[in-house]
């Protein structure tokens, strides 16, 4: 069953007298619980598509329907509320607040949700434990390794239990060992918690963890590759 549906999805903006169109009439269907990798050259529209699905940006044209709701028609304020409940974003450079501890960085994502302080703290503790960083809960970002920072960022992304996780080059700033650990974690979130994951990557080895890989060129899909779990683990 289609969970995310893009139809003729377009994003354009003006730069002087030129019209830049990072997405150009893209059609895409994503099932609930899918793990999708997006690949393609710089400027192909990967991050633009990610930001539209995450509700960070709005399309110029076309439809973007997620769970039967056309978010392309939402106002900015409604889109912000929808995003807080439905999407967790994992960035390449973590985007942690340097003056907050790991615990406080994750808790930040819950401050606008209606829950008691005790409920909020319990939830944060559970997420830090899930991503394997509970013993670093009182550490500041500067006291953590890159892999540990990304684990905190993933805990922040999932603490509100969103059905969708979007990840923009989640291993791009990590060494090989840390990158493998992060991809194992994302795979578990997809398999065990049924999170729908859409990930941008330039690394074919990272893309192999996904159930599907789609290639973008000049704002449109150029092709797709399906892999079996046996191929991923090979």
Note the pLDDT tens digit of each residue in 20-75: 899 999 999 999 999 999 999 988 999 999 999 999 999 999 999 999 999 988 88
From the list 202, 198, 171, the residue with the least C-alpha distance to 184 is 171
Instruction: Kindly state the average pLDDT of the residues 12-22.
Output: 87
Determine, yes or no, domain membership for 21. Answer: no
| Residue ranges making up the domain that contains 145 | 33-59+87-233
Question: Is the Cβ–Cβ distance between 101 and 138 less than 8 Å?
Answer: yes
Question: Is the Cβ–Cβ distance between 128 and 149 less than 8 Å?
Answer: no
**CB neighbours (10 Å) of residue 34?**
18
Pure H helices in the chain: 46-53, 76-86, 102-108, 117-130, 146-158, 176-193, 204-207, 229-233
Determine, yes or no, domain membership for 11. Answer: no
Determine, yes or no, domain membership for 67. Answer: no
Q: Record the pTM.
A: 0.89
Close Cβ partners of 4 (under 8 Å, ≥ 6 residues apart): 28, 29, 30, 53, 64, 65, 66, 164, 196, 198
Determine, yes or no, domain membership for 65. Answer: no
Question: Is the Cβ–Cβ distance between 207 and 213 less than 8 Å?
Answer: yes
Q: At residue 230, does pLDDT exceed 60?
A: no
Determine, yes or no, domain membership for 219. Answer: yes
Here the CATH number for the domain that contains residue 131 is 3.40.50.300
Class of residue 10 by CB neighbours under 10 A (exposed 0-12, middle 13-18, buried 19+):
middle
For 76-126, write each residue's pLDDT tens digit: 889 988 998 999 999 989 999 999 999 999 999 998 888 899 999 999 999
- Matching residue, tokens 């191929």: 231
Close Cβ partners of 203 (under 8 Å, ≥ 6 residues apart): 171, 172
Determine, yes or no, domain membership for 107. Answer: yes
Determine, yes or no, domain membership for 9. Answer: no
Question: Is the Cβ–Cβ distance between 161 and 85 less than 8 Å?
Answer: no
Number of structural domains found in the chain: 1
CA–CA separation, 73 vs 40, rounded Å?
Answer: 28
Q: How high does pLDDT run on average in the chain?
A: 91
Of all helices (H) and strands (E), which one includes residue 30? strand 18-31
Determine, yes or no, domain membership for 104. Answer: yes
């Amino acid at each position: 069953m289609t969970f995310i549906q893009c139809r003729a999805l377009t994003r354009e903006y003006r730069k002087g007298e030129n019209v830049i169109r990072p997405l150009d009439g893209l059609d895409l269907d994503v099932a609930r619980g899918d793990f999708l990798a997006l690949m393609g050259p710089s400027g192909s529209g990967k991050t633009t598509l990610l930001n539209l699905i995450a509700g960070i940006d709005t399309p110029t044209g076309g439809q973007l329907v997620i769970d039967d709701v056309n978010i392309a028609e939402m106002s900015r304020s409604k889109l912000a509320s929808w995003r807080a409940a439905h999407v967790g974003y994992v960035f390449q450079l973590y985007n942690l607040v340097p003056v907050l501890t790991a615990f406080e960085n994750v808790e930040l994502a819950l401050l606008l949700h209606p829950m008691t302080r005790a409920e909020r703290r319990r939830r944060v503790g559970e997420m830090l434990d899930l991503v394997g960083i509970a013993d670093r809960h009182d550490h500041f970002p500067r006291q953590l390794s890159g892999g540990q920072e990304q684990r905190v960022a993933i805990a922040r992304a999932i603490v509100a239990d969103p059905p969708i996780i979007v990840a923009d080059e989640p291993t791009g700033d990590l060494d090989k060992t840390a990158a493998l650990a992060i991809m194992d974690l994302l795979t578990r979130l997809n398999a065990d918690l049924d999170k729908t994951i859409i990930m941008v990557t330039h690394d074919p080895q990272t893309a192999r963890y996904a159930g599907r890989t789609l290639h973008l060129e000049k704002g449109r899909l150029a092709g797709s590759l399906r892999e079996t779990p046996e191929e991923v683990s090979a």
